Structure 1
C-alpha cells in the first residue's frame, strides 16, 4: 500500500510545500531547519535516513530515522544506553490523513531499524497535544515513559 524510497533533491519542492501546510506546520516547527537537513542529507546530515512515502506511486509524505548517538540529542538518557534510534513522520497530503498510512510508515521504519545489529529501541517524543501521533505510537506497540514523556518501543 505504501513504499518508502530514498528522498532525492528533486523531492525538495514538495517537501517544502508540505512543511508549510497547516496540518504539518502545526507540529514541524522551524521548517528551515528541516529543509537544511534534507538538502544536506548526502553531506552534513548523512547520518539521517530520509524517505519519501509513496502511495500508488504518488508522493504523500515524508519520514526519517537515525541513531540517537549520531545526533546531539540526549533523549533523556536513552542515547547513553546505546542502541537507541528515533523516527519522524508526516503525511503531507491532507487527503491521505486518517487512512492508516501513519501506522504503515511507523511499521516500515521499525522494520528497517530492526535490521541494524545494534538496534535495541526506538524513542519518539511528539508534543503531548499531538493526540493523533501519540495514539498512533501506542497503536504501533510503543509505551509512554511517563517520567521522561518519551514513547519507547523495545526491539530486543
Structure 2
C-alpha cells in the first residue's frame, strides 16, 4: 500500500466523483449523490469546514475521502460524545477493481494520521450503516472501538 496517497480534491475531479456516486456499489451507501456533490461544489464557502480528498493508488484515482470538525457540521448523531475535539471521516472506493483488497482500510489509516496530526483533534467518530460490514471491519482494523451506547465507532488520539 506504499503507493496509496491522498491529495486535495480539485475541480477536475468533479466528473469522476459524479461517476463514482452513481455506481451501484457506492449508491448503496451514498444514496443522495446530489447532496454529496453540493458539499463538493460548496467546498470553498458553505462547506469549507470539510476537507475533501481523492485517494490515489500509483497516481491513479481510486476513491474519495474527507474529514471535518464535528462542531462545524449540523449533525445530531454524536450521542453523548464530547463535541469539542471530535472529528468525523467519510470514504469510498469508486473503482470496483480496488474493492475487497484492503484499500478501504488503508484510506482510513491515511485519514486517521491526517486528522490526528491536527493539534485540536482528540477523537474521530464515524457512523457507517451497520449493514456496511466492510466499512465497519475496516474501522475496527484501524483501532476504532464500537461505542454500543452511542451506536458509532470511535478512536481516540
User: Normalised by the shorter chain, which TM-score bucket?
Assistant: over 0.9
Q: Partner of 1:152 in structure 2?
A: 154
> Residues 43-122 of structure 1: matches in 2 within 5 Å?
43-74=45-76, 75-78=78-81, 80-122=82-124
Of the three residues 29, 32, 38, the one matched with 2:31 is 29
Displacement after TM superposition at 1:77 (Å) = 2.9
- Once residues 135 and 129 of structure 1 are traced to their aligned partners in structure 2, the CA distance between those partners, rounded to angstroms, is 11
CA offset digits 1:72-118 (Å, max 9, x no partner): 1131132x441000000000000011111111111111111111111
What count of residue pairs does the alignment treat as equivalent?
A: 154
Tell whether 2:29 aligns with 1:20: no
| TM-score normalised by the chain length of structure 2 | 0.95
- Once residues 6 and 133 of structure 2 are traced to their aligned partners in structure 1, the CA distance between those partners, rounded to angstroms, is 24
| TM-score normalised by the chain length of structure 1 | 0.95
- Once residues 81 and 47 of structure 1 are traced to their aligned partners in structure 2, the CA distance between those partners, rounded to angstroms, is 15
- Once residues 22 and 131 of structure 1 are traced to their aligned partners in structure 2, the CA distance between those partners, rounded to angstroms, is 16
Residues 80 and 150 of structure 2 are in contact (CA less than 8 Å); yes or no, is this contact kept in structure 1? no
CA offset digits 1:27-56 (Å, max 9, x no partner): 002110000001111111111000001111
Q: Partner of 2:5 in structure 1?
A: 3
Of the three residues 106, 120, 134, the one matched with 1:132 is 134
Q: The residue matched to 2:79 in structure 1 has which SS?
A: helix
Q: Which runs of 5+ in 1 are unaligned?
A: none
- Once residues 128 and 18 of structure 1 are traced to their aligned partners in structure 2, the CA distance between those partners, rounded to angstroms, is 22
- Once residues 79 and 21 of structure 2 are traced to their aligned partners in structure 1, the CA distance between those partners, rounded to angstroms, is 27
> What is the aligned-residue RMSD (CA, Å)?
0.9
Residues 71 and 83 of structure 2 are in contact (CA less than 8 Å); yes or no, is this contact kept in structure 1? no
Runs of 4+, deviation exceeding 6 Å: none
